[in-house]
Structure 1
């Protein structure tokens, strides 16, 4: 059903994009910028991430054909990747990895291209979000309404990131250190369940094929 697809896709995209988790990093990479400059960085990063995710959502099937990879196999491998990301979130390793990426980018580029790197890639449109988008696109089964819904949901997820970026200072103060930790772990648990479901779906599709 469309409602089930929309609800699953929305939760998956929000968890993999992790808007709340990106707020402290956005503050870090835009340190020293004024409000107008931060707004410009947030808008540009959001547009780039949206374009990348839509590309993989629309062209996922073509990519499978070119690489010769079956959707069940990609669902299993993608589910395992998402589970690893969930593991990092629950045990607070994902934040450390993202922060290391930010530190390198600031050192090398002096914040000149932070909208494209590291914000849009790989923090927003990273491996987890791209994998989730391709997996969700595989569930549309070439139904235009489902594909349009997926594109709109990608827009909702990216827009959520953009909105939180604009309110970054207030959000960080509201959540506090404890709030950020609790939210990250809760999202990690949700993502772990979704990741296992992707693996189960892939295995169930392979069983009839092997039989």
Structure 2
């Protein structure tokens, strides 16, 4: 298995899920809960997000075939979507939108269901992560490769779970400035990956 492919998949999913950026949002939607309740909500959100992401990792290309969409075309569309997300990260629009989503969940008195919304969807298994998984599923075509992709998802979500459990410490450690710098840096990396997806898709379409 190509090591570069594994690194590319890991970086892409790590940036689109953004575990560190989710820490303050997790604290926001679980405000007023004790440590045990936060752990329960965090665990449930991770498990739900994992199931959703595995479905798209396994059935990604099948879903495209069902709608008659080529992988090359989806590479271009998905790459543009990831570039838009990267743009929002660089200019801190994405964090603001996620914070608004979290506030709506609290104001609607959905404390019991915050594990599903907004944590699992759309903060963990959001459009960026799902698009990235569908794109990556084309490169991880065989059973062993798909298993590796699911393993990458599991590892990143395990890190996300740890960050949820340690959310207060992570938030204090980074501070507002640290989060801002890290988010912008990840946004720049994601923009480069997005351009590569678009370039690969265009190249394939032109060769067809």
Q: Report the TM-score, using the length of structure 1 for normalisation.
A: 0.97
Answer yes or no: is 1:205 the counterpart of 2:207: no
| Residue 207 (structure 1) shift | 1.2
**C-alpha distance in 1 between matches for 2:145 and 2:66:** 23
SS in 2 for 1:69: coil
Matches within 5 A, 1:55-204: 55-140=55-140, 142-204=141-203
Structure 2 distance, partners of 1:6, 1:109, is: 41
For structure 1, the 5+ residue unaligned runs are none
Matches of 1:169 and 1:60 in 2, distance apart? 35
2:36 maps to what in 1?
36
Contact 1:2 1:146 in 2 (8 A): no
**Match for residue 45 of structure 1?**
45
**TM value normalised by structure 2:** 0.98
SS in 1 for 2:108: helix
| 4+ residue runs over 6 A deviation | none
Unaligned runs of 5+ in 2: none
Aligned-pair distance for 1:110? 3.4
CA distance in 2, matches of 1:208, 1:180: 42
SS of residue paired to 1:32: coil
Q: What are the superposed Cα offsets for residues 33-92 of structure 1, whole Å, 9 maximum, x if unpaired?
A: 001000000100000000000000100121011111110000000000000000000001
Cα distance in structure 2, aligned partners of 1:138 and 1:167: 35
Count residues with an aligned counterpart: 208
Distance (Å, rounded) in 2 between the aligned partners of 1:73 and 1:167: 40
Provide the rounded CA distance (Å) in 2 between the counterparts of 1:136 and 1:72: 12
